[in-house]
Structures are given as C-alpha cells and as structure tokens.
C-alpha cells in the first residue's frame, strides 16, 4: 500500500496559519514527521482560504524539498496551481491530485501529466457530482481510462479515486466505493491503480482512527493500492502493514513483527 501523507493541507488550521504568515517551520516539521512515519508521498494542498494557489504552491514545494526527498502529490482543483507546483518539483516523479471525469479538465490534466512525467489521480465524478452507486462510478472510470489511452498515457500511472465520503452523511456510499475498487481492476490490462482519501470517511465523526483503520482493512481487501491518510496515526500504519501481510503482499516475518511490536500472543 502506497501511503500519501495528508497533513500538508490548508484544511488544517496550523497549515493555513503557516501559509498566511509565510512561516516555513511548521510545514517543514510536518514534512519530516510524515516522512519518518513512512509516507511514500506527501500531499500538498494550499487549502480553501488561499486566493491564489498558483502563487503559494511553488513556495510550499520549495520549503518541503529543502528538508525531505519524499516525492510530492500536488493537490489542487486549479490547473495553474498544479503546473506551478510541477515546475518547481526537483525530486522523484510526482502525483497530480486530481482531475475529474469532465472532458476538458481531464484533457488538461493528462497534458500536464505527460509533459511533466507525473502520475495522475482521477476522481469518478463529473459536473453532476459524485455518483450514488458503483456502476455509475465505474462508467466514469471507464471514460477516464479511454481518454488516458487516447492520450497515450500509461494506464498503470493512473490512479482512479472512487471518492470516499463521510460515513455520517454518506453511509450508503461506503460499500459502493469498495465495489468500485474491485471492479476497476477489470477495466484494462494492465489495470489502473486505485486510491482514496481515507480520512474523508471519518470527517466530523467520533472514533476517527477506528473508522479509518476499519475502512482501510476493507478497502485493502478490495484491491486498494494507495491511500491519502494520517500517517502519523501509528495504529493506522500498523493496520496497513498487517493488511499487506494478510493479503500476502509482504513477507510475514520482518516487516510485520517490526510494525506490530513485541509478540504478546
Ligand atoms: N481524494 C483525493 N485527494 C484528496 C481527498 C480525496 N485530498 C484531500 C482529502 N480528500 C484528503 N485529505 C484530508 C485532509 C484532512 C482531512 C481529511 C482528508 C480532515 N481534516 C480535518 C477536518 O476536516 O476535520 C481538519 C481539522 C483540523 O484538525 O484542523 O479530516 O478524497 N484524491
């Protein structure tokens, strides 16, 4: 499972304040902490309070790259902000987060992904919003795969995101997202990869870690390849490693024993 650290996002008050004050230190601390916790990528999102994300994104990329080598997941609904971020990146292949299935946006983001040799996350939503069931999510995933193929974009570099929603407002979506994760693998050979914003499921809910961990285990069993998640939740990272062992994606001995701690029966 590829873990993308979610924490450098202006949705969080401390990050919003650091951006406002042009203070690199809190953001750099989050970059180091998430990297040490095992993040393979760091999500970078200016958040909703920033007027001009295309001006802020290069600053974020620069200060993060000063302290870690971890590749970045450039997260914005504004293509100008994505491009400004990609222009600044000097480390390994980045992820573009994210396009929707809307044709004009998809073509714009695919063009950027090709030009900057980046992975691309595509959400199974369009102008009508998020579909209510797996069949409609899959129809959008198929449209995305077809257009990626037309663009000669490697489908294995494409991550389909079926959009996890908070369980307290979209309870009926949980099982539809799991079904979508399973069926996406039948759309092409090699298939696209899959990703979700895991913490979405618990937004506004009590027992967030428990909800995140339980859904992670179910999503992994449904074929999930990557998650944007709270990597500083040690129980969550332990669940990810344990899931990999139980799904025979990782050898039982070394990583599992290390992650789970001393054996207590
Ligand atoms: N798919 C893709 N990208 C995404 C998402 C997705 N990026 C953003 C988001 N969803 C994933 N990241 C987060 C980050 C924070 C929270 C949830 C998902 C979160 N934040 C606290 C809250 O709203 O309660 C912030 C409050 C605070 O502590 O300050 O829960 O689905 N491709």
Instruction: Give the pLDDT score at 262.
Output: 61
Q: What is the mean pLDDT of the chain?
A: 96
Q: What share of the chain in percent tops pLDDT 70?
A: 98
pTM score, whole prediction: 0.96
Q: pLDDT tens-digit profile of 25-78?
A: 999 999 999 999 999 999 999 999 899 999 999 999 999 999 999 999 999 999
With a cut of 90, say whether residue 120 has pLDDT above it. yes
Q: Is 209 in the pocket of ligand 1 (CB under 6 A)?
A: no
CA 192 to chain centre: 14
Candidate from 5, 9, 123, 205 with most ligand 1 atoms within 8 A of CB, to mutate = 9
**C-alpha 134 – ligand 1 centre gap (Å):** 22
Candidate from 120, 199, 201, 229 with most ligand 1 atoms within 8 A of CB, to mutate = 199
Asked, as a colleague might, if the bond just before 157 is cis with ω within 30 of 0, I would say no
CA dihedral (165, 170, 171, 175) positive or negative: negative
What separation in angstroms does the CA of 179 have from each of 41, 65, 99, 242, 244?
26, 37, 21, 22, 19
With a cut of 50, say whether residue 94 has pLDDT above it. yes
The residue whose CA has the least distance to atom 28 of ligand 1 is 12
Which tokens hold the place of 210? 């428990």
Q: pLDDT tens-digit profile of 218-256?
A: 999 999 999 999 999 999 999 999 999 999 998 887 777
């Amino acid at each position: 499972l590829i873990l993308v650290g979610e924490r450098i996002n202006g949705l969080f008050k401390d990050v919003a304040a650091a951006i406002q004050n042009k203070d690199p230190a809190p953001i750099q601390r989050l970059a180091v902490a998430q990297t040490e916790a095992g993040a393979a990528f760091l999500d970078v999102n200016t958040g909703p309070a920033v007027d001009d994300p295309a001006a802020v994104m290069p600053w974020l990329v620069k200060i993060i790259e000063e302290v870690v080598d971890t590749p970045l997941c450039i997260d914005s609904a504004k293509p100008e902000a994505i491009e400004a971020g990609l222009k600044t990146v000097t480390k390994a292949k980045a992820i573009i987060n994210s396009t929707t299935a809307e044709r004009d946006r998809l073509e714009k983001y695919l063009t950027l992904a090709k030009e900057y040799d980046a992975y691309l996350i595509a959400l199974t939503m369009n102008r009508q919003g998020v579909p209510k069931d797996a069949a409609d999510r899959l129809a959008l995933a198929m449209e995305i795969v077809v257009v990626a193929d037309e663009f000669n974009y490697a489908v294995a570099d494409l991550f389909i995101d079926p959009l996890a929603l908070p369980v307290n407002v979209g309870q009926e979506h949980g099982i539809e997202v799991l079904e979508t994760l399973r069926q996406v693998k039948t759309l092409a050979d090699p298939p696209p990869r899959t990703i979700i914003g895991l913490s979405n499921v618990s937004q506004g809910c009590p027992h967030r870690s428990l909800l995140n961990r339980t859904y992670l285990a179910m999503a992994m069993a449904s074929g999930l390849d990557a998650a944007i998640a709270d990597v500083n939740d040690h129980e969550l990272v332990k669940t990810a490693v344990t899931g990999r062992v139980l799904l025979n994606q990782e050898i039982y001995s070394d990583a599992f024993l290390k992650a789970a701690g001393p054996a207590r029966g």
